[in-house]
């Protein structure tokens, strides 16, 4: 007598293991293709508008992450003992 579970088929076990990195890369590439396609198919937008929007978005990401990089560096400097008199405050002032 053959007992079949919901995970077993007559052909055997289904393929469960995936190359998730390849799946992710394919999905992210498809999203990029969608965005590029939207810009190219929009008759109201010029190539220069696409260029400017892409440049502005990249600049925005740089500024956003630079703010946190600067904050992290300042914290690291404090932890490593690089403090000025102005940096040292009593716990009541925090």
> What is the full DSSP assignment across 30-76?
HHHHHHHHHHHH-TT--HHHHHHHHHHHHHHHHHHHHHHHHHHHHHH
In a structure prediction context, what are the per-residue pLDDT tens digits for the chain, which is 94 residues long?
455 555 556 666 666 677 888 889 999 999 999 999 999 999 999 999 999 999 999 999 999 999 999 999 989 988 888 877 676 666 666 5
**Which domain covers residue 32, as residue numbers?**
20-82
Q: Which two tokens stand for residue 3?
A: 């007992």
2: in domain? no
47: in domain? yes
**Tokens 């190219």 -> residue:** 40
8: in domain? no
67: in domain? yes
94: in domain? no
50: in domain? yes
1: in domain? no
Distance, in Å, from the CA atom of 91 to the CA atom of 23, rounded to the nearest integer, reads: 51
58: in domain? yes
Name the domain count of the chain. 1
Q: Which of 42, 58, 39 is nearest to 50 (CA)?
A: 39
């Amino acid at each position: 007598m053959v007992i079949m579970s919901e995970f077993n088929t007559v052909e055997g076990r289904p393929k469960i293991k995936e190359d998730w990195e390849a799946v992710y890369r394919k999905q992210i590439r498809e999203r990029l293709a969608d965005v590029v396609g939207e810009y190219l198919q929009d008759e109201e937008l010029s190539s220069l508008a696409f260029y400017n929007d892409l440049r502005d978005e990249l600049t925005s990401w740089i500024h956003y992450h630079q703010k946190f990089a600067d904050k992290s560096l300042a914290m690291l400097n404090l932890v490593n003992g690089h403090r000025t008199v102005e940096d040292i405050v009593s716990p009541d002032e925090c």
